[in-house]
Amino acid sequence: MSELESRQDRAPVPSGWDYAPAPESRDIVTIEERYGLFIGGELVDPRSGEYFPTLSPATEEQLAEVSQAGPEDVDLAVRAARDAYDNGWSSISPAERAKYLFRIARILQERSREFAVLESLNGGKPIRESRDVDLPLSAAHFFYYAGWADKLEYAFPNRRPRSIGVAGQIIPWNFPLLMLAWKIAPALAAGNTVVLKPAETTPLTALLFADIVRQAELPPGVVNIVTGDGRTGVELVKHEGVDKIAFTGSTEVGKAIQRELAGTGKKLTLELGGKAANIVFDDAALDQAVEGIVNGIYFNQGHVCCAGSRLLVQESIYEPLIAKLKRRLTTLRLGDPLDKNTDIGAINSKQQLDRITELVAAGEEEGAEIYQPPCRLPEKGYWFAPTIFTNVAQSYRIAQEEIFGPVLSVLTFRTPDEAVEKANNTAYGLSAGVWTEKGSRILSMAQKLRAGVIWANTFNRFDPTSPFGGFKESGFGREGGLHGLEPYLDLGESEVRGG
């Protein structure tokens, strides 16, 4: 036996190919024990005197205490925003406003690791997603709208674009920093000031953003951040000093806001829930489609308003596609959000976990077949295994209601017309996906699907230049792109120019 063969015989045989833990360090982030409200350029104690804990959903540990803003606090923030608007921000040159936005974008990039760790710590999403998706996109939105700030007259020719005043903005817990960027960047570019209320369960990155506002030397009062539960949001919506409300969240709350603002003359945009159909035709590249399906529903634990939570598969490829999909689920890694190997992190809160659990139980009771890969859930924290339901009827709750979790409902179709009918058979109309090699079929489906965003041979792809929004109970108005500036502008009367 040669020396080489002898050495090979003595080499240990691996017992498995498990990933070694690759945790991201928490040391880069400094979390205060207690946070105030960011009003008029500084953190102030709440006049309400109330605080509440904010947790890590992965461990249930308390990260900090956060202020519960009351009516007085909201009023103080709105008055600070109005003062900043009237005394400088609305009248400075657009080029100067652009400089501030560019500065914010660059600082976000420089501090991206710090923000990514805090986003995963407070929200439960995998660090890979925070690092590779949320942070780059957040900075990109500020860069994009910085470019438009001094070009508004070119963006809206023959119009007279003017800022509208104070914008009240309420954002959800699934993409805390990205939703902040979606709303603050166009508002500032248009010359408005802002009072932002982050979600109750994920306020920490918004409060850290306040530090960026100070670092960028934005004039005091241009951006104000008030934390709290739904009561704070109600006070912001009702305040007479607010000229525009932008809300992203549940359809039920969106309807309540619309009723409250009816007849007030305030501008309103709503980005609400969704129940997107991901449609796979028999000529699609199945392996590519499987990756798109997984990204469409299990990205961010399914905490995505445009998640592809309904999978419509052409009957002739149903069995091979489901077999590939189930096999792919066995490779997903669920666990510590700060581990770089993690694919599926923690559910954001106990309340959301209870909602997911309830709807999954309803799906089983109604007769759908459930599949969950072998998956060991951590003992502490809020966790739910990736789930597939087959033999789903359109009338089942899991096919109609937004679950907002890692749960996929699978239906079948025979013809393109049947696919369109089933895809549109929902109260929502936010997004959809089409998988086929035929360009003509993509264009035909896009014309027939009643959804604001339609992806072709991909899913969950975002870009600051592209508008995002829905139809029906998914809301109205657009965020992103040139369209995202319109809700923050008074375009005035058309101006006819001639010799």
* Confidence class for position 1, pLDDT limits 50, 70, 90: very low
**52 backbone dihedrals φ, ψ, rounded to 5°:** -140, 155
Q: What percent of the chain has pLDDT over 90?
A: 93
CA dist 249 and 277 (Å) reads 20
What tokens appear for 448 in the block? Answer: 């027939």
Instruction: Check whether 51 has a pLDDT greater than 80.
Output: yes
What residue spans of 274-400 are helical by DSSP H? 286-298, 318-329, 350-366, 397-400
Instruction: Check whether 453 has a pLDDT greater than 80.
Output: yes
Instruction: Check whether 162 has a pLDDT greater than 80.
Output: yes
The CA angle 251-256-262, to the nearest 5 degrees, is 120
Contact between residue 397 and residue 406 where contact means Cβ atoms under 8 Å apart: no
CA dist 274 and 276 (Å) reads 6
Strand order in the sheet with 42-44: 42-44, 37-39, 223-225, 193-197, 166-170, 244-248, 267-271, 475-476
The CA angle 362-331-11, to the nearest 5 degrees, is 150
The DSSP string of 239-264 is -TT--EEEEES-HHHHHHHHHHHTTS
* Confidence class for position 492, pLDDT limits 50, 70, 90: confident
Architecture of the domain delimited by 34-272+477-490? 3-Layer(aba) Sandwich (3.40)
**Residues contacting residue 50 through CB under 8 Å, at least 6 positions apart:** 67, 68, 70
How do the domains of the chain map onto residue ranges? Answer: 34-272+477-490, 277-463
Contact between residue 112 and residue 135 where contact means Cβ atoms under 8 Å apart: yes
**436 backbone dihedrals φ, ψ, rounded to 5°:** -165, 155
> Is the overall model pTM greater than 0.75, yes or no?
yes
CA atoms within 13 A on the CB side of 434: 24
Helix, strand, coil share of the chain (percent; to 5): 40, 20, 40
Instruction: Check whether 232 has a pLDDT greater than 90.
Output: yes
**201 backbone dihedrals φ, ψ, rounded to 5°:** -85, -15
The mean pLDDT of 475-497, rounded to a whole number, is: 82
Contact between residue 494 and residue 158 where contact means Cβ atoms under 8 Å apart: yes
CA-CA distances (angstroms) from residue 210 to 106, 195, 291, 332?
A: 15, 12, 37, 35
What tokens appear for 356 in the block? Answer: 């997911």
* Confidence class for position 15, pLDDT limits 50, 70, 90: low
Give residue 475's pLDDT: 96
Higher-pLDDT residue of 214 and 3 is 214
Give residue 13's pLDDT: 57
CA dist 185 and 142 (Å) reads 5
Instruction: Check whether 241 has a pLDDT greater than 90.
Output: yes
Pick from 9-13, 170-174, 318-322, 433-437: least confident: 9-13
Residue 166 three-state SS = strand
CA dist 286 and 450 (Å) reads 25
Query: Exposed (0-12), middle (13-18) or buried (19+): which is 7, by Cβ within 10 Å?
Result: exposed
How high does pLDDT run on average in the chain?
A: 95
The one-letter code for the residue type at 143 is F
**469 backbone dihedrals φ, ψ, rounded to 5°:** 170, 175
The one-letter code for the residue type at 119 is E
Instruction: Check whether 194 has a pLDDT greater than 80.
Output: yes
Q: Which amino acids are annotated catalytic?
A: 271, 305
CA dist 398 and 364 (Å) reads 10
Pick from 19-28, 202-211, 340-349, 390-399: least confident: 19-28
Query: Exposed (0-12), middle (13-18) or buried (19+): which is 18, by Cβ within 10 Å?
Result: exposed
Query: Exposed (0-12), middle (13-18) or buried (19+): which is 99, by Cβ within 10 Å?
Result: middle
Instruction: Check whether 298 has a pLDDT greater than 70.
Output: yes
Residue 70 three-state SS = coil
Give residue 493's pLDDT: 52
Contact between residue 121 and residue 26 where contact means Cβ atoms under 8 Å apart: yes
What tokens appear for 441 in the block? Answer: 């079929």
* Confidence class for position 3, pLDDT limits 50, 70, 90: low
Residue 42 three-state SS = strand
Give residue 19's pLDDT: 79
The one-letter code for the residue type at 441 is R
The mean pLDDT of 178-196, rounded to a whole number, is: 98
Class of domain 277-463 (CATH, top level): alpha beta
Residue 211 three-state SS = helix
What tokens appear for 300 in the block? Answer: 């961010």
Give residue 20's pLDDT: 86
CA dist 146 and 107 (Å) reads 14
Contact between residue 460 and residue 295 where contact means Cβ atoms under 8 Å apart: yes
CA dist 371 and 380 (Å) reads 23
